[in-house]
Amino acid sequence: MVAAVLDQLGRRPGVLRLSLTARCNLACPYCCPDDHDPPELLSPGERRTLIAVAAGLGFSSLRLTGGEPLLHQELEALIEAVQDLRQPAGLREVALTTNGVLLTAARARALRQAGLDRITISLDGADGASVALMSGRAHQGELLLARVLEGVRHAREAGFDPGRGQLKLNAVIDRRRNADQLLPLARLARELGVELRLIEFMDVGNRNGWSPDQVLTAAEMVERIGSRWPLQPQGRAHHGTASRWRYLDRDDDLHLAVVASISAPFCGDCNRLRVTADGQAYTCLFGTAGTDLKPWLRPRPDAAGLRARLQALWGQRHDRYSEERAHLQPGAFLPHAEMAYLGG
């Protein structure tokens, strides 16, 4: 039985988002990733220790992120190495967020065989020009779109069933750049039979030039798509990030989802801890500074010490930046860690 650990707002641990690299093969303007990793990356053994300790504290979901995690050559080995942490030890699922460009048939099969439960693939446009714009890769849009769609197919063929929530699409929507892609993306996801998750453009990091007028709100997205295909609200699951809507014109229970971290914050039941590729723990996506966990991982793992540090870190947690943002004075915004470094 995992002992209850509560933060200052009564929130329990739930999701450990572990970044494997800050590098990416794309240059999406809302993320602005680095082309290199920070020094002192965690080793596979250190990551395994961290995940085991976190699972013992109640982090039952592990999401592997980047940068682009498919650039990490030991990804499958790590997934396989944590399988013994599943119930009753505490880990219930292992998920992955990827841009899908490198998701070959062989890679998809290897991930499934290693024990991966779910894949979310990012795609911010439904045509070559939009993909080129949103990926920061001029003149490569058609090629990238084709590869991502192949990745979706490979994932499905490897056994990731979208009908069971094992395969989804993410799209970040920027009012200035790709708001015209709402209906095309929804149409594409409907054709693929995959849930589409539309994400409001967020003020994560300091490089992406975020301003409030770039935010197309979740309510506007739902209104636009609902005017084309009727939608029925399904609500937001406790601890979930997305509000879901069911398409009424289909009999396959396909859903649309929206993540409204700007217009309708959900800090009240946030259960996420983010750890960067170099072992910095952040208790909020919009955090300004992390806590270095390496002193409890090297030169040799100190599982008891790491558990105590994570327990204390969570117990001191009181972050609710998205809820507080609306009340901040102009100019009061603090510098944030970059999205690619945090793993989104």
Average pLDDT over residues 138-167: 98
pLDDT of residue 329: 56
Of the pLDDT bands very low, low, confident and very high (cuts 50, 70, 90), residue 331 is low
Q: Which domain holds residue 326?
A: 15-342
- As a whole number of angstroms, the distance between CA 254 and CA 165 comes to 10
Q: What is the CATH number of the domain that holds 87?
A: 3.20.20.70
**Percentage of residues in the chain with pLDDT exceeding 90?**
83
Task: Give the tens place of pLDDT for each residue, 23-36.
Answer: 999 999 888 887 88
Q: Does 8 reside within a domain? A: no
Q: Quote the crossing angle between the two packed helices 182-192 and 218-226, to the nearest 10°.
A: 70
For residue 288, the model assigns a pLDDT of 85
Q: How confident is the model at residue 227 (pLDDT cuts 50, 70, 90)?
A: very high
| Residue carrying structure tokens 């990490």 | 72
Mean pLDDT of 169-178: 96
How many Cβ atoms from other residues are within 10 Å of residue 153's Cβ? 14
Examine the pLDDT at 60 and tell me if it is beyond 90.
Answer: yes
Residue 322 — very low, low, confident or very high, per pLDDT cuts 50/70/90?
A: confident
181 assigned to some structural domain: yes
What gap in Å lies between CA 220 and CA 224, rounded to an integer? 6
User: Is the model's pLDDT at 123 over the cut of 80?
Assistant: yes
| pLDDT at 335 > cutoff 80 | no
Q: How far out from the chain centre does Cα 300 lie?
A: 30
Task: Quote the DSSP letter at residue 104.
Answer: -
Model pTM score: 0.95
User: What does the pLDDT read at residue 342?
Assistant: 84
CB neighbour class for 106 (10 Å; exposed up to 12, middle 13-18, buried from 19)? exposed
pLDDT band at 332 (very low <50, low <70, confident <90, very high): low
Query: pLDDT band at 206, cuts 50/70/90?
Result: confident
- Least confident segment among 27-31, 107-111, 183-187, 225-229: 27-31
Task: Say how many domains are in the chain.
Answer: 1
Domain assignment present for residue 328? The answer is yes
Query: Is 294 in a helix, a strand, or coil?
Result: helix
307 pLDDT more than 90: yes
- Top-confidence residue, 336 or 12: 12
Rounded to an integer, what distance in angstroms lies between the CA atom of residue 152 and that of residue 191? 12
Q: Is residue 127 part of a domain?
A: yes
Backbone phi, psi, residue 330, to 5°: -55, 135
Q: Is residue 5 part of a domain?
A: no
- The residue-averaged pLDDT of 248-267 equals 95
pLDDT for 101 equals 98
- Residue 143 domain flag: yes
What pLDDT is stored for residue 306 in this prediction?
A: 98
Q: Contact at 8 Å (CB) between 94 and 47?
A: no
Residue 4 belongs to a domain:
no
Residue 287 — very low, low, confident or very high, per pLDDT cuts 50/70/90? Answer: confident
Residue 334 is assigned to a structural domain of this protein: yes
Q: How far is CA 295 from CA 16, 112, 266, 300, 303, in A?
A: 19, 33, 33, 9, 11
Lowest mean pLDDT among 118-132, 138-152, 163-177, 313-327: 313-327
Q: State residue 333's pLDDT score.
A: 57
Per-residue pLDDT for 138 more than 60? yes
